[in-house]
Structure 1
Amino acid sequence: MNYIQVSILFCIKQLKGERTAYGIYHLLTGKKSAQTIQDGKIFGISFLFQSFVYLDKRSFEACVAYLKEQQYIEETENQKYVMTDKGQARLEDELTARPFHPALDGWKFASSTQLFLARITLFIQTLSNLQYFQKGFLPISKNAEVIQWVKTYIMSQKQTRQELAAELFEELRMCLKGCTERDASLFVLQLTGYQRVGFTKNQLAYQYELDEHYVHIQLLGVIHHIIEKVSKNNESFHVLSSFLRDLYLELPLTSSTLKTYSWLQKGKTLEEIAYIRRLKESTIEDHIAELALFVPSFSIDAYVSPKQQEKIISAFEGLRTNKLKVIKEEVKDDVTYFQIRLVLAKHFT
């Protein structure tokens, strides 16, 4: 099995047949919709958000068909699957041999990962060449904004190139100490410098006899580990923190939800915000559910009374399902699907 198939099988296990397979596709490729965000958090798979951005729909469907053919999953409804005992045994074996990187957190770092990586790899290439007085080289990034950012950053530094290189080396060494030797090597070997071309993921996979998709996910984990370590201790990482300063978002919210949040903080009601923003009330409800998921201080009491919350919590704990319809039928009260979503988001994620 390749690691995309392993990841899909894990997601099917977590979803328990309560969502369609295409929800997994949207999660893995990074579709930033309210449904994807909420399902990722509720079912414990948000760390895989945008983990395989290069996965196309046809390849995804082929992976699901393979899992079904191998009897690792079975279809319960149209495009809804549950894992079989055979699939459970295979998944346990796979994750024992090839576990997810412990620092992998796709939802938290999706908005910063690619730009951070582009900046740091181009910066290393540029600094390496400049130390050998080589100004004419082909940059590994074609992104004009990234190229300009690196130029501006280097020009703004007071240290010599040698001092800057030494500082960056020490900061990366400190970060990579928290990784396994293999994962640290995977990260370093992909770097390009003076008279040195970095390995591709395919070459790294061949070198270490690993699946290419597993190499990809491990590298993502290393990058997330670096971002997490640097963002928590900026003062110890003078150089690396500069690469993150305008990227790292404390609240992992969609831009539209942030706008709704701003209006809520000004005292506007759900209905008023829908009118002001010319959006459907259901869209604003999605935003509020997202806030309940990701903002610890956000209270849902204005939308669900404490008594209703108790009833929904009791129903969920008795049924152990995220199916809104089933919970609503159990509550037997005048509660809406929106209210149930809020309670699940606030209390069970």
Structure 2
Amino acid sequence: MTATYLELIILYCLKKINGERTIYSIYHLLKGKKSSQTIQDTHLFQLHPFFQAFPSITRIEIEEKVGKFERDGWIEKMNDQYFFLTEKGRDMLDEEFRRKPVPEFLNGWKYHNVTELFWERLSLFIQVCSNLINRKPDFVPVHKKKETLVWLKNFLAKQEKDRFHLSEQLYKELTDCFEANHQIDPAILVIRFTGYNRIGLTENQAAEKLGMEQTYYRVSFLNLLHYMIETITKRPARFPLLHFIIPEAGKFVPLTNSAKKTYELLNSGMPMEKIARVRNLKKSTIEDHIVEIALNMKDFDISPYVDQSTQKNILEASGKVSSKQLKHIRAHVENASYFEIRLVLAKYGDQQ
């Protein structure tokens, strides 16, 4: 019995949620749905690496894979769409992850907003430099998005160095970035670059060329991009060109647009109830936004919404129950609302 890396990830997610969420919670996680439930589950079950790792996945694919797991004896059904891993499934997963652990730098939640655009800018920049130093300005761009092309045109117009020195600096920064960690394999990325008289490989072609299972290659590719973004943003002075390529470099608080608006109003001193009226939204929606803010902004103070005594009681109750379902926690802290429980878990859940 063999499993693709995507199947291993799904099994790992099933292990983490342990029958407390349906299989569709994993579907929303891998697809990158920015609902309040998916955002909270990502943090509550510590599944940050896999957020939006497979945006094209379908519900049917999830259902088919879960059906396969059940036939192979890796999972058992609790009821409806709730499953948990069997001992056989846990042993298989542990053995496979010993051989192919979750890549170290994979962090879909933190970097999903910038990963695709970073790749488009980087690969287009490399293509342009490669063709210009070989005096071939009439090439077909590897990416056709107007905003990416306009960005690169404006970026190049601001550079004071000629095309040769610019290309040399880019090569040096890439080399320095890759050599900063000998555990990564630059070929996973380099094999995809298009340049002068060279066409980069597609995702499937690259996986076949490197002898990697397709979904494992995809995860490895994302891991390398996330490694680059993390390394570059930590040392921007060492990688000035690459740092400029990262969209809004260093700003990786992935709030939804609606939550950002709520956050701005909260910062202006507007109370939650008034924000709901001004924005013509339900109070529960604003509560969802506040939970999302607490999940992503570690310096966000939740004391205006949950007093210190209640926070302490919720954390103590959360430590006593094995389940992460809110109703089980609330049974131990009856005076706390579901919003207060969610907010405390959002703020301190990772520390437990």
TM range (shorter): over 0.9
Q: Residue 338 of structure 1 corresponds to which residue in structure 2?
A: 339
Q: Residue 322 of structure 2 corresponds to which residue in structure 1?
A: 320
Shift of 1:148: 1.8
Q: Residue 265 of structure 1 corresponds to which residue in structure 2?
A: 267
**CA offset digits 1:25-79 (Å, max 9, x no partner):** 1110111111111110110002211101121222222122211221111121221
**CA offset digits 1:295-349 (Å, max 9, x no partner):** 1121221222212122211111111321101111122x32111111111111222
**2:31/2:51 contact within 8 Å kept:** yes
Shift of 1:201: 2.1
Q: Distance in 2 between matches of 1:65 and 1:149?
A: 46
The structure 1 residue matched to 2:283, chosen from 270, 281, 285, is: 281
Q: Which stretch shifts more, 178-187 or 209-218?
A: 178-187
| Aligned residue type for 2:177 | C
Q: Distance in 2 between matches of 1:16 and 1:9?
A: 10
Normalised by the length of structure 2, the TM-score is 0.95
Q: Which stretch shifts more, 56-65 or 261-270?
A: 56-65
Q: Which stretch shifts more, 202-211 or 23-32?
A: 202-211
Q: What SS does the corresponding residue of 2:332 show, helix, strand or coil?
A: helix
**1:179/1:222 contact within 8 Å kept:** no
**CA offset digits 1:254-282 (Å, max 9, x no partner):** 11111111111122221111111111111
| Aligned residue type for 2:171 | F
Q: Residue 349 of structure 2 corresponds to which residue in structure 1?
A: 348
**CA offset digits 1:202-258 (Å, max 9, x no partner):** 222222221111101101010011111111221111111111253652422111111
Normalised by the length of structure 1, the TM-score is 0.96
How many residues align structurally?
348
**1:37/1:46 contact within 8 Å kept:** no
Q: Which stretch shifts more, 271-280 or 48-57?
A: 48-57
- Summarize the alignment of residues 56-205 of structure 1 with structure 2, pairs less than 5 Å apart: 56-180=58-182, 183-205=185-207
Shift of 1:21: 0.9
The 1:247/1:237 distance shift into structure 2, 3 A limit, reads closer
**1:122/1:141 contact within 8 Å kept:** yes
Q: Residue 252 of structure 1 corresponds to which residue in structure 2?
A: 254
**2:29/2:51 contact within 8 Å kept:** yes
Identity of aligned residues (%): 38
Q: Which stretch shifts more, 179-188 or 196-205?
A: 179-188
**1:183/1:219 contact within 8 Å kept:** no
Q: Distance in 2 between matches of 1:263 and 1:325?
A: 31
Structure 1: tracts of 5 or more residues without a match: none
The 1:115/1:245 distance shift into structure 2, 3 A limit, reads closer
The structure that is helix-richer by fraction is 1
Structure 2: tracts of 5 or more residues without a match: none
